[in-house]
């Protein structure tokens, strides 16, 4: 898999660029980093030796939110260019040390956190969850790495399990056989490792006989839906499933607390995969919940800076994090809860609330946690 | 039966603690086997050392030579090889230290004597030497036996064996002639380099909050450093954290870093490998946070929290805000 | 400058659950992930850096089972030029490993031999320095810095308490390499897949000119979990409860 930077112009349609600046204009890290997509496209297409441009730490600041590619009027594949550059660098071993660790951990232990594979499903051990292989099911709940190992996100996994069980939705998890979906791996530049993960996972899914996949994370949703070449199994994000369960009366929620709640559209669910309505349907179905919309919403949602390997590297960014800006925006609306539907949004926004010292004024919660609370009440 | 040799380890004018620990271990083994133990002291102008050692052991063999002023494994090995050939000791004890690791394996290969390293226990079963070792990062112990031999070698882990205490009787000091004929040019001591003192001196702190590689990544460090400051203490770490460049070397608590004795040592995500424990076990109170209930650190700590630090530290940070 | 690096494939036990085999002679390893010993990784990287600076070839050798080839492949991806595996005999210890390596290496041409200070599984720290003696070469253990000066190597050895010792050795020599000597470089899967095409030579112990009758000096009779002598008092309760107890303890022990 030899990446030759000289083919980038062709691979990513760089010659179509009209230098309008829509990409940089929409880039969520432009105020925090010297990363300038418009300039990068120009420089890459006009130099004979593009690889000289690539030893820049700001190339690792990109969150792969894809706003640039989605907005480009000329069909330039900007975010794909970043991923191609990172692939070129990774193949030579030129990645930040924390990215190195995340990639090596994924190859060895099946998760970028380097946690022991055999403990991947420990979070579920007392929940009476089916493990595929030991028991059969048509539906796979694909949990993901952060929801398996991160203590904060494990609450989300647990909440979702409880909701599915209450709704009598039959499902199973892969347990310790589950490996990273590879979405972030690909975005950190490891195309070969992504290829291996997608092949191994596809075979595993097919062997387990499942007929549908529900993911907890929009990142896994994106990988399975859009980037696994041979996966012929339908994939849904859990918000799509919950919205349906609510509509068909399988989930009954009693009164929630009377607080204003706003919602952060995750980049990998919202702007990239156009799932905007289902999370809102769920929230507005929770009795008593006052839903308020932030100004930068839906396609314009401000990236939390969790994607694209940013959970493992800062890419030399400086200044106020986007998460803190979002928390301020939510507070200005009078919101008391920031709802999310992505583990990375959950972690970065909650961190931001703590850093801003605002945890007594606003709580960050996953939609599944809100629904689970409303079920119990 | 041959005696038990204990190689005295000294550096820059001081006898190192491992020596006294080996004297204690050697004496115990010698009395069990019905033999005696002997300190073997190599150096230049080491008469005062010999006097000090003679208070803790019945015999001190001294080899004085200008070439032995600084440790040089080639010269030490030459001297020891001739002493071992002459006296045929049952067992030669050397410290499992930077000096010992540079010397014992090559000496054992030269003499054809079986060697067991980094021992935390030693015993004889009839005439066969057996050792206790700590392996797999301290999670498992191993009983090891050596092949039958007229003589054995073992290196001892520092900080484990009870040191010999000075007694009333003074042992004999015997000067052995040096077998060296001048210097060696294939390996030469050049100099010692002390670590420069930059930034915070963690050895002076009363409260230390220390992180290990169990925290998973450097992004958690600012929060933990805040906790350290809130408690009026300093941030420190174990070696792997320095190897990964998450923190500078001056923050390292360990055998190859700094030894600390604060009032409170809070170890976060530190497994408790002995190279680290050795350097902080003198702390008055040790508290460990680790998600692995089997982590060796819990055998050293006074208090423990078995949980992921991410469940605990954020709350600790909130609670300690404004208490400084 | 031709360099030989001796490496070992070991199980990753830091984050793992450990179980003892029924016969008590070793831990269970089927569920463990294996990889290149951390110290040896630094040694291979150091060899690659020396090669960049001074030219020459890097050969990696391991004594191990068939599966050890995967760490040799990784070393080839890291910049080694040749790889050799000697089939491990049924009973192996540091001493016998050194004998085997010595038999293989003495017929090679080299300027420098590197090993890691120790292996993460048995932490014996024995092979490199014994190997030096068997080959009749000077050595330095626990090296944190290497400088070549003509036919000599000036190295820093890490002593206790933050002090380093500087020694100068005549080449060829054996150095055991300490962690942190360099910054490990990421080894991409693409590089590893490319390296899988390179040849790894397999040798049996009968083919290396090892004198007959070489046996291990030590034998592991039994492994077991360390007895619980002292235990920490484990704080119980919810994270909030635990933190409350923790702050009280710290306040009390802090004193004034």
pLDDT, one tens digit per residue, over B100-119 is 999 999 999 999 999 999 99
> Domain A252-376, what fold?
Rossmann fold (3.40.50)
Instruction: Give the three-class secondary structure for B140.
Output: strand
pLDDT value, residue C185: 95
- In whole angstroms, give the CA distance from residue A125 to residue A103: 28
Q: Are B269 and B212 contacting, i.e. CB atoms less than 8 angstroms apart?
A: yes
Fold agreement (A112-243, A252-376): yes
pLDDT value, residue A283: 96
Between chains, do B311 and A354 touch, taking CB under 8 Å as contact? Answer: no
For helices A78-91 and A191-207, give the axis angle rounded to 10 degrees. 100
| Residues of A whose CB is below 8 A from B310 | 150-152
Residue of C nearest to B321 (CA): C247
Residue of B nearest to C184 (CA): B244
The count of residues in chain A is 377
Q: Which of A7, A25, A9, A30 is nearest to A76 (CA)?
A: A9
Cβ atoms within 10 Å, residue A165:
14
| Preferred mutation among A151, A306, A309, A347 to probe B, highest tally of B CBs within 10 A | A151
Q: Are C233 and C249 contacting, i.e. CB atoms less than 8 angstroms apart?
A: no
A329: left (phi over 0), alpha (psi -120 to 50) or beta: alpha
Instruction: Give the three-class secondary structure for C45.
Output: helix
| Residues of C whose CB is below 8 A from B316 | 243, 246-247
Interface predicted TM-score (ipTM) of this complex, two decimals:
0.93
CATH 1.10.1060.10 for the A5-91 domain, yes or no = yes
Q: Are A73 and A20 contacting, i.e. CB atoms less than 8 angstroms apart?
A: yes
What residue ranges do the domains of chain A occupy? 5-91, 112-243, 252-376
pLDDT band for A376, please (50, 70, 90 cuts). Answer: low
Instruction: Give the three-class secondary structure for C124.
Output: coil
Which CATH number is C135's domain given?
Answer: 3.40.50.620
Chains in contact with A via at least 3 Cβ–Cβ pairs below 8 Å: B, C
A112-243 is classed in which CATH architecture? Answer: 3-Layer(aba) Sandwich (3.40)
Read off the pTM: 0.92
- In whole angstroms, give the CA distance from residue A271 to residue A280: 15
pLDDT band for B323, please (50, 70, 90 cuts). Answer: low
| Preferred mutation among B137, B139, B216, B247 to probe A, highest tally of A CBs within 10 A | B216
CB within 8 Å of chain C, chain B residues 264-323: 264, 266, 271, 284-288, 292, 294, 296-307, 311-312, 315-316, 319-320
Q: Which residue in the set A93, A108, A117 is minimally distant from C35, CB to CB?
A: A108
> Residue B171 pLDDT > 70, yes or no?
yes
A150 has a chain B CB within 8 A of its CB? yes
What residue ranges do the domains of chain B occupy? 4-176, 202-320
> Residue B324 pLDDT > 80, yes or no?
no
pLDDT value, residue B117: 98
Q: Identify the segments of chain C with pLDDT beneath 50.
A: none
CA B16 to chain centroid, in Å, comes to 10
Measured in angstroms, the CA of B310 and the nearest CA of chain A are apart by 7
Q: Are B100 and B155 contacting, i.e. CB atoms less than 8 angstroms apart?
A: yes
Q: Tell me how many domains chain C contains.
A: 1
pLDDT value, residue A284: 95
E strand or H helix at B175? strand B172-176
CA C240 to chain centroid, in Å, comes to 42
For chain A, the C-alpha Rg in angstroms (whole number) is 21
Between chains, do A114 and B216 touch, taking CB under 8 Å as contact? Answer: yes
B33 has a chain C CB within 8 A of its CB? no
pLDDT value, residue B195: 77
Q: Which residue in the set C31, C183, C189 is minimally distant from A107, CB to CB?
A: C189
For A248-279, write each residue's pLDDT tens digit: 999 999 877 788 999 999 999 999 999 999 99
> Residue A63 pLDDT > 60, yes or no?
yes
CB within 8 Å of chain C, chain B residues 44-63: none
Cβ atoms within 10 Å, residue A48:
6
Q: Which of C158, C135, C137 is nearest to C146 (CA)?
A: C158
Cβ atoms within 10 Å, residue C89:
16
Mean pLDDT, chain B, whole residue set: 93
For B249-270, write each residue's pLDDT tens digit: 889 999 888 889 999 999 999 9
Measured in angstroms, the CA of C60 and the nearest CA of chain B are apart by 22
> Residue A282 pLDDT > 80, yes or no?
yes
A54 has a chain B CB within 8 A of its CB? no
A290 has a chain B CB within 8 A of its CB? no
- Residue C158 is assigned to a structural domain of this protein: yes
> Residue A349 pLDDT > 80, yes or no?
yes
E strand or H helix at B82? helix B73-87
pLDDT value, residue A226: 98
Which domain covers residue C91, as residue numbers? Answer: 3-207
Chain B to chain C Cβ contacts (< 8 Å): 261
Percent of chain A with pLDDT over 90: 87
For A170-220, write each residue's pLDDT tens digit: 999 999 999 999 999 999 999 999 999 999 999 999 999 999 999 999 999
Specify the CATH class of B4-176 in words.
alpha beta
Q: Extract the runs of DSSP E, i.e. beta strands, from chain A.
A: 130-131, 139-142, 172-173, 212-215, 235-237, 260-263, 290-291, 337-340, 363-366
Q: Which residue in the set A101, A152, A314 is minimally distant from B310, CB to CB?
A: A152
| Residues of B whose CB is below 8 A from C94 | 105, 117
For A306-317, write each residue's pLDDT tens digit: 999 999 988 889
User: Phi and psi of A112, rounded to 5°?
Assistant: -70, -10
| Preferred mutation among C13, C23, C92, C123 to probe B, highest tally of B CBs within 10 A | C123
| Preferred mutation among C113, C146, C171, C217 to probe B, highest tally of B CBs within 10 A | C217
B202-320 is classed in which CATH architecture? Answer: 3-Layer(aba) Sandwich (3.40)
| Residues of B whose CB is below 8 A from C160 | 16, 97-98, 255-256
Say which range, A54-68, A225-239, B270-284, has the weakest mean pLDDT: B270-284
Residue of A nearest to C13 (CA): A116
Q: Which residue in the set A113, A354, A359 is minimally distant from B216, CB to CB?
A: A113
| Residues of A whose CB is below 8 A from C29 | none
Q: Are B190 and C167 contacting, i.e. CB atoms less than 8 angstroms apart?
A: yes
Find tokens 């600046």 and name the residue.
A21
**Candidate ranges A351-365, B223-237, C37-51; pick with highest mean pLDDT:** C37-51
3-state helix, strand, coil in chain C (%, to 5): 30, 30, 40
- In whole angstroms, give the CA distance from residue B40 to residue B8: 6
B115 has a chain C CB within 8 A of its CB? yes
Taking residues B6-29, report their average pLDDT.
Answer: 96
- In whole angstroms, give the CA distance from residue A36 to residue A59: 9
């Amino acid at each position: 898999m030899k990446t030759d930077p000289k083919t980038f112009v062709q691979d990513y349609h760089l010659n179509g660029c009209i230098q309008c600046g829509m990409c940089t204009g929409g880039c969520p890290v432009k105020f925090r980093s010297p990363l300038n997509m418009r300039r990068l496209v120009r420089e890459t297409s006009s130099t004979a030796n593009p690889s000289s441009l690539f030893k820049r730490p700001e190339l690792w600041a990109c969150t792969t939110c894809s706003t640039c590619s989605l907005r480009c009027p000329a069909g330039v594949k900007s975010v794909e260019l970043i991923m191609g550059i990172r692939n070129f660098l990774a193949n030579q071993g030129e990645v930040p040390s924390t990215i190195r660790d995340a990639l090596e951990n994924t190859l060895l232990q099946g998760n970028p956190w380097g946690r022991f594979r055999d403990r991947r499903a420990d979070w579920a051990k007392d929940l009476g969850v089916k493990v595929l292989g030991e028991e059969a099911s048509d539906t796979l709940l694909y949990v993901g790495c952060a929801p398996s190992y991160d203590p904060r996100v494990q609450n989300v996994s647990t909440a979702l399990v409880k909701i599915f069980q209450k709704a009598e939705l039959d499902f199973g998890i892969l347990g310790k056989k589950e490996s990273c979906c590879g979405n972030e791996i690909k975005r950190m530049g490891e195309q070969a490792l992504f290829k291996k993960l997608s092949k191994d996972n596809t075979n595993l899914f097919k062997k387990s006989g499942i007929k549908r996949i529900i993911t907890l994370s929009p990142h896994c949703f994106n990988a399975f839906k859009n980037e696994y070449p041979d996966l012929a199994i339908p994939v849904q994000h859990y918000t799509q499933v919950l919205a349906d369960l609510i509509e068909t009366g399988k989930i009954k929620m009693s009164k929630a607390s009377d607080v204003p709640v706003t919602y952060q559209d995750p980049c990998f669910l919202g702007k990239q995969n156009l799932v905007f309505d289902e999370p809102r349907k769920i929230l507005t179905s929770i009795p008593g919940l006052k839903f308020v919309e932030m100004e930068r919403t839906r396609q314009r949602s401000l990236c939390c800076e969790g994607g694209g390997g940013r959970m493992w590297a800062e890419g030399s960014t400086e200044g106020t994090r986007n998460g803190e800006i979002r928390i301020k925006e939510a507070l200005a609306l009078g919101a008391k809860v920031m709802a999310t539907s992505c583990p990375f949004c959950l972690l970065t926004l909650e961190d931001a609330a703590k850093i801003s010292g605002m945890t007594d004024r606003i709580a960050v919660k996953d939609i599944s946690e809100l629904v689970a609370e409303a079920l119990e009440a | 039966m041959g005696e038990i040799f204990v190689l005295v380890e000294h550096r820059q004018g001081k006898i190192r603690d491992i020596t006294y620990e080996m004297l204690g271990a050697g004496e115990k083994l010698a009395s069990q086997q019905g033999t005696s133990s002997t300190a073997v002291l190599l150096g230049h102008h080491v008469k005062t050392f010999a006097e000090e050692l003679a208070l803790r052991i019945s015999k001190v063999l001294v080899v004085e030579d200008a070439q032995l002023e600084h440790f040089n494994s080639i010269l030490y090995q030459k001297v020891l090889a001739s002493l071992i050939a002459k006296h045929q000791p049952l067992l030669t004890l050397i410290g499992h230290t930077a000096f010992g690791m540079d010397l014992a394996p090559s000496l054992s290969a030269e003499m054809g004597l079986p060697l067991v390293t980094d021992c935390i226990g030693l015993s004889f079963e009839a005439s066969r030497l057996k050792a206790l070792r700590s392996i797999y990062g301290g999670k498992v112990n191993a009983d090891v036996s050596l092949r039958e031999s007229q003589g054995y070698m073992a290196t001892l882990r520092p900080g484990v064996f009870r040191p010999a205490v000075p007694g009333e009787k003074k042992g004999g000091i015997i000067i052995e002639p040096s077998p060296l004929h001048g210097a060696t040019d294939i390996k030469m001591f050049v100099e010692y380099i002390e670590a420069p003192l930059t930034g915070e001196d963690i050895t002076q702190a009363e409260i230390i909050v220390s992180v290990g590689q169990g925290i998973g990544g450097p992004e958690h460090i600012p929060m933990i450093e805040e906790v350290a400051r809130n408690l009026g203490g300093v941030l420190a770490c174990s070696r792997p954290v320095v190897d990964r460049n998450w923190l500078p070397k001056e923050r390292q608590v360990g055998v190859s870093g700094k030894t600390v004795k604060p009032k409170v040592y809070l170890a976060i995500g530190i497994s408790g490998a002995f190279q680290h424990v050795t350097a902080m076990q003198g702390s008055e109170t040790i508290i460990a946070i680790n998600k692995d209930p089997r982590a060796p650190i819990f055998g050293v700590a006074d208090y423990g929290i078995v949980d992921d630090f991410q469940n605990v530290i954020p709350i600790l940070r909130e609670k300690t805000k404004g208490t400084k | 400058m031709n360099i030989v690096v001796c490496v070992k494939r070991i199980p990753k036990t830091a984050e793992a659950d450990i179980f003892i085999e029924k016969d008590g002679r070793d831990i269970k390893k089927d569920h463990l992930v294996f990889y290149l010993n951390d110290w040896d990784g630094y040694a291979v990287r150091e060899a690659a850096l020396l090669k960049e600076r001074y030219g020459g070839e890097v050969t990696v050798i391991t004594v191990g089972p068939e599966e050890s080839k995967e760490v040799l492949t990784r070393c080839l991806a890291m910049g080694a030029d040749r790889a050799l595996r000697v089939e491990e005999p049924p009973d192996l210890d540091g001493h016998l490993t050194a004998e085997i390596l010595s038999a293989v290496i003495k017929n090679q041409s080299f300027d420098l031999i590197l090993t890691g200070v120790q292996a993460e599984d048995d932490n014996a720290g024995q092979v490199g320095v014994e190997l030096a003696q068997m080959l009749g070469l000077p050595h330095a253990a626990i090296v944190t810095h290497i400088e070549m000066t003509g036919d000599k190597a000036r190295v820093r050895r890490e002593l206790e308490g933050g002090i380093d010792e500087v020694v100068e050795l005549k080449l060829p020599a054996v150095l055991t390499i300490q962690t942190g000597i360099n910054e490990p470089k990421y080894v991409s899967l693409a590089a590893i897949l490319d390296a899988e095409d390179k040849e790894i030579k397999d040798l049996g112990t009968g083919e290396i000119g090892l004198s007959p009758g070489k046996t291990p000096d030590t034998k592991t009779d039994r492994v077991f979990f360390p007895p619980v002598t002292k235990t920490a008092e484990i704080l119980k309760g919810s994270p909030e409860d635990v933190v409350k107890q923790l702050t009280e303890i710290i306040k009390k022990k802090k004193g004034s």
